[in-house]
Structures are given as structure tokens and as C-alpha cells.
Amino acid sequence: MFTDQRELSRLDLKLVWSGFKQLAPISLFVIVFGAAFGLAASQAGLGDGLSIGMSALVFAGASQFAALDLWGAQVPLFTLLLTVFAINSRHLLMGATLYPWLRALPPAQRYGIMMVASDANWAMSMQAFGRGQPGLGVLFGGGLALWAFWVFGTWLGIYFGNVIQDPESLGLDMVMGCFLLALAIGGEKNLRILVIWAVAAGASLLAFRYLPENSHVVVGALAGGIAGLLWTESGHVG
């Protein structure tokens, strides 16, 4: 088992390729949602190049679909920026949790890796770190797999989108959620983790019910993060 901090932050082609292969199976389901986005983008009037470019540069399915809802002859830029930030605000916490290992890398590598960070490869990288193994390979390699299949799916949706117009009708919208739930269940189990999850879930549900759309993402993440911070600090004091 790796214990040296430099080993935990190690990143090479072998680790990247291993991470790519680990995330490739779940990435196949990403194609379907990429195709759904490609079809929706075409129906919203986006050009083919713009649709593919959005998937390649933004690489955030929920915020891309939200952007389509606001797309029109006059795009409300401030509202669009605020919506995308709210949906993707969880990446702030992802970056914070990964910083102890990312800080050993040069800035170009550090930010390049975070360009392809998403829920699935972040969760698997954190599991690797928790086992005392290097996790940046699965973060970057897995992110490349998810990114490549997302862009490919967008291309398929533009030209062959009518094949699958409604992924939810096939239950495919549950695949990523079940995958992440399985990772969470397989992770560390103690009272602290249970309380953090409960606080985050409760705050998110309340925000979903009483606050503006998409704010539950920010509220749940902040509530869980604050709960974890307070628990850690009180533990240090004791």
C-alpha cells in the first residue's frame, strides 16, 4: 500500500490508461445522454459545430441542458452564467477535496486534470486515495473516457438522435446515480459520514422544496461541507 505523499500524487501514462479502462464501461451509458443532448441542441437551433464544441469545452451535461432551456434569439447571459455556476458549484468542493494531492503537480497539469473532473471519476479517485493508492490516474484517465464518450454521443445525437429521444423512458437516467450510490455505500462507514450525508440530503431536499430551481445543489453541498468541517474541528479540540 502506498503511504508516501509523492506516490499518492503520482501520475503517469500507465495510471492514466488504467483509469481510462476502469471508467470505460460506465462511459458507455454517457453516450446515450450525449446523444440526447445532441438531439436537443439541434432542435433548439444550435449549429452542429457549436453543439459539439459546447460538449467538448463545457463537459457538463446538466448545465448544458439548462443552457438549452435559456437559449433563444436573445440569450439572458447573466441568468445563464448564474444557472451554470449553481449547477456546477459542487466542483468547488471536488477541487478542495483533491487539493492535497493535486498541489504536488505543476499548475498546467493540475488544471488540465480538473477540466475533465466529474462525479464518477472524482468518486473513484477518492476511493483510491482512501485505500492509500494513487488516484490521479483514475481521475484523469477516467475523465478522458467520460469526456470522449460524451462528445461522441453528442455527435451521434446530432445525426442519429431520433434513435433514442427519451433515455429516461428506458431507465438509463438511473445508471449514473446507482453507480455513485454503490461507490458511496462501499466507502468509509462511520457516524461522522452518516451525519454529513444526512445533513447534506436534508438541506438539499428543503432547498429543492422552498428555494429557486437548482439551488438545492449548492445548499446541499455547502451544508454537508460545513457539517464535515465542524465535526473535524470539534474532534481536534477533543
Domain map (residue ranges) of the chain: 5-187, 189-238
pLDDT reported for residue 233: 44
How many angstroms separate the CA atoms of 16 and 140, rounded?
6
Q: The pTM is what?
A: 0.74
What is the torsion angle, in degrees rounded to the nearest 10, for the CA atoms of residue 39, residue 40, residue 42 and residue 46?
-140
Residue ranges in the chain modelled with pLDDT below 50: 1-2, 172, 175-176, 179-180, 183, 233-238
Q: For residues 17 and 14, what is the distance between their CA atoms, to the nearest angstrom?
A: 5
What is the structure's pLDDT at 176? 47
For CA atoms 135, 141, 145, 147, give the dihedral sign.
Answer: positive
Q: Give the rounded distance of the alpha carbon of 180 from its chain centre.
A: 10
Q: How many CA atoms lie within 13 A of 7 on its CB side?
A: 8
pLDDT at 23: 93
